[in-house]
């Protein structure tokens, strides 16, 4: 069983955060594939999977380039392997929700208040000043945030990784699209206690392409809401 990481990055000249991330993953025994100057995150991930031609049980990490993972590399790998030893595991991540409502936003504040959310992440420029977000107890969820996703190759080969024709944005809502497909296929998505700092605070969620893809997703799954464990 091999571990791969697909990381989209805007430049081949890596900043300090991305260098630390690739070094960390390499120490954990992960074969890092940097996806540079990509036109679409959907297509970048789909093409990368095809290029490495993994075995079905190989493990693929899909993550942002602006994260700093603080979990010990040995524990990091054990947490992942532990979940894939279970039957019908789909995606793993650090933050998600047990219920996706008609808003199709996993971090919907109303659901957070009702304690449907799961996981933990830090946000900010450095660990000392990081803003902690404790979403809720770890466990099975329906949807996960795309800053850090893990799946076996057979799961990625089972779902449609390419951008739906109804999506106009090439970089938005892929995480909900992927993880809900896995849930709908009868697989179980989980949050796991991997601790990381995300340099972004989610500002891109406000751009037009994100809203358009969200609207397209809602239209596609309108009859299914709420989607929950």
Complete domains list, the chain, with CATH: 3-228 (3.90.550.10)
Residue 146: pLDDT band with limits 50, 70, 90:
very high
- What does the pLDDT look like over 30-63, one tens digit per residue? 999 999 999 999 999 999 999 999 999 999 999 9
81-100: pLDDT as tens digits: 999 999 999 999 999 999 99
- For the stretch 15-22, contacts whose Cβ atoms lie closer than 8 Å and that sit 24 or more positions apart, written own/partner, are 17/65, 17/66, 17/67, 17/68, 17/199, 18/65, 18/66, 20/68, 21/63, 21/65, 21/67, 21/68, 21/69
Query: What percent of the chain stands above pLDDT 70?
Result: 97
The pTM of this model reads 0.97
């Amino acid at each position: 069983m091999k571990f791969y990481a697909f990381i989209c990055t805007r430049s081949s000249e890596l900043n300090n955060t991305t260098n630390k991330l690739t070094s960390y993953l390499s120490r954990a025994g992960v074969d890092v594939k940097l996806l540079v100057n990509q036109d679409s995150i959907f297509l970048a991930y789909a093409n990368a999977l095809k290029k490495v031609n993994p075995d079905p049980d190989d493990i693929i990490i899909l993550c942002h380039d602006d994260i700093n993972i603080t979990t010990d590399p040995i524990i990091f790998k054990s947490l992942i392997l532990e979940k894939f030893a279970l039957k019908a595991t789909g995606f793993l991540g650090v933050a998600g929700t047990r219920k996706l409502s008609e808003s199709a936003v996993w971090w919907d504040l109303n659901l957070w208040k009702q304690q449907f959310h799961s996981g933990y992440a830090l946000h900010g420029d450095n660990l000392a000043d990081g803003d902690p977000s404790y979403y809720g107890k770890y466990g099975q969820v329906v949807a996960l945030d795309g800053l850090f996703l893990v799946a076996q190759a057979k799961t990625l080969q089972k779902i449609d990784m390419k951008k739906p024709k109804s999506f106009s944005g090439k970089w938005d809502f892929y995480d909900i699209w992927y993880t809900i497909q896995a849930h709908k296929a009868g697989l179980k998505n989980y949050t796991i206690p991997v601790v990381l700092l995300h340099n972004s605070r989610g500002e891109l969620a406000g751009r037009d392409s994100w809203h358009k893809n969200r609207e397209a997703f809602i239209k596609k799954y309108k009859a299914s809401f709420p989607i929950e464990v």
